[in-house]
């Protein structure tokens, strides 16, 4: 199943509950603009290399469009279109004044030098600088990109338009980035895990957790949850998964990846298992925090966790989601579970526009407030209408975007 098709299926379930007419569904699903550009550079060896870059701007009824830029060899228009739509619903469900966008370039950053990545990034900005900016569409980091890439984007964009650090978020603090932005998505996952467990009558000290993915999101989620007294029994990266039923020393794991170039490969303080086996462990909470599509009809019957938080985008196929819902598994959807990143990106944007810096404590307090409010609204709708948390989150988001479009005047 293509990525955008899966997004449409989740959208349709909520639209059916809202009884939206077909023409409104088409309006809300159709992207405002889709840009495809050629990105050609000279490699370090003097060869010519050509890549394809994308920027999809989905909806701007609620504010400027917002979304990450990913560097990955599997990037294509369908994936970027799906992720742009997800950003629209994500910003709406946490009620920050943005629409959704997404971008990407079909490259493998691990196969390129830093200088090659910089040339690709700057050439991409050259191609699309006139369609993004602080009042229209604000990029941010995503898979394969980081704060350094955002600094390149800011620098290249400002060559055309002048000083305005609000043109991109997720920047280094030295480039007017927000304190706490790097930890934001993972910290948000931790905050929401605590909220969900509380509503389900569970205690952190009696809860086991497996996290697939120990990159930026997974590592910060693990740190937050361990400090909140959860027992983290498994983590993973591309080298495989590392499992200890008695609980991992998360601080030791974090020090290990710092000392080994961000990788868990060779970690000897736990049993080595596969990423697939991690997903099927007998744990209370499962957090897919790596790539999409890891829970499908092929393995859903072997998933034992009773609670799943989607820290990654689209880790559960719609058919598997139906099966999990039928078994009573509580799934906190990606459009809420991983919204901490875009929320702190919003804080960064606000600071840039005001030329005023917030403290880390204020960023964390505001993040907790925004995510807590969104969770409570989704939880109440789910309970009141007897629907899944995913459908409730989509309904809340779709209704806000629909309302904004109608109030703006569809004939305008």
Catalytic positions are 102
Phi, psi for 53 (deg, rounded to 5): -115, 150
Q: For residues 230 and 30, give the distance between their C-alpha atoms in angstroms, rounded to a whole number.
A: 41
> What is the 3-class SS of 138-199, one letter each residue?
EEEECCCCCHHHHHHHHHHHHHHHCCCHHHCCCCCHHHCCCCCCCCHHHHHHHHHHHHHHHH
CA dihedral 225, 328, 382, 81 (to 10 degrees): 80
C-alpha of 51 from chain center: 24
Among residues 246, 292, 295, 306, the alpha carbon closest in space to that of 271 is found at: 246
**Burial class of residue 371 (count of CB atoms within 10 Å of its CB; 0-12, 13-18, 19+):** buried
Overall size of the chain counted in residues: 412
**For the packed helices 389-408 and 3-18, what is the interaxial angle rounded to 10 degrees?**
80
Is 218 within 8 Å of 185 (Cβ atoms)? no
132 sits in the region (left: phi over 0; alpha: psi -120 to 50; else beta) called: beta
Q: For residues 219 and 233, give the distance between their C-alpha atoms in angstroms, rounded to a whole number.
A: 13
């Amino acid at each position: 199943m293509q990525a955008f098709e899966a997004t449409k299926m989740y959208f349709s379930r909520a639209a059916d509950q809202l009884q939206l007419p077909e023409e409104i569904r088409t309006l809300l699903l159709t992207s405002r603009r889709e840009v495809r550009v050629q990105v050609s550079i000279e490699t370090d060896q003097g060869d010519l290399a050509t890549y394809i870059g994308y920027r999809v701007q989905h909806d701007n009824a609620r504010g400027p469009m917002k979304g990450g830029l990913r560097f990955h060899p599997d990037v294509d228009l369908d994936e970027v279109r799906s992720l742009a739509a997800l950003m629209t619903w994500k910003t709406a469900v946490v009620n920050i004044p943005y629409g959704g966008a997404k971008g990407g370039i079909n490259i493998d950053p691990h196969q390129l030098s830093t200088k090659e990545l910089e040339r690709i990034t700057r050439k991409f900005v050259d191609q699309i600088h006139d369609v993004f900016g602080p009042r229209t569409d604000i990029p941010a980091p995503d898979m394969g990109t980081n704060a350094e890439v955002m600094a390149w984007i800011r620098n290249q964009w400002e060559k055309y338009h002048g000083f305005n650090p609000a043109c991109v978020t997720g920047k280094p603090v030295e480039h007017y980035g927000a304190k706490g932005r790097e930890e934001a998505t993972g910290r948000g996952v931790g905050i929401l895990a605590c909220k969900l467990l509380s509503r389900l009558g569970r205690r952190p000290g009696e809860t086991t957790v497996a996290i697939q993915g120990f990159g930026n999101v997974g590592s910060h989620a693990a740190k937050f949850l361990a400090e909140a007294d959860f027992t983290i029994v498994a983590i993973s990266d591309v080298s495989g998964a590392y499992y200890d039923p008695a609980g991992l020393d998360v601080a030791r794991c974090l020090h290990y990846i710092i000392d080994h170039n961000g990788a868990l490969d060779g970690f000897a303080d736990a049993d080595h298992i596969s990423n697939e086996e991690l997903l099927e462990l007998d744990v209370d909470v499962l957090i897919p925090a790596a790539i999409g599509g890891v829970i499908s009809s092929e393995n859903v019957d072997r998933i034992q966790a009773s609670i799943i938080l989607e820290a990654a985008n689209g880790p559960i196929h719609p058919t598997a989601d139906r099966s999990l819902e039928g078994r009573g598994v509580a799934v906190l959807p990606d459009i809420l579970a991983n919204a901490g990143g875009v929320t702190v990106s919003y804080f960064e944007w606000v600071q840039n526009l005001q030329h005023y810096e917030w403290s880390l404590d204020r960023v964390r307090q505001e993040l907790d407030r925004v995510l807590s409010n969104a969770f409570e609204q989704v939880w109440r709708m789910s309970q009141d209408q007897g629907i899944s948390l995913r459908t409730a989150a989509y309904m809340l988001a779709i209704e806000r975007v629909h309302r904004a479009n109608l109030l703006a005047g569809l004939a305008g």
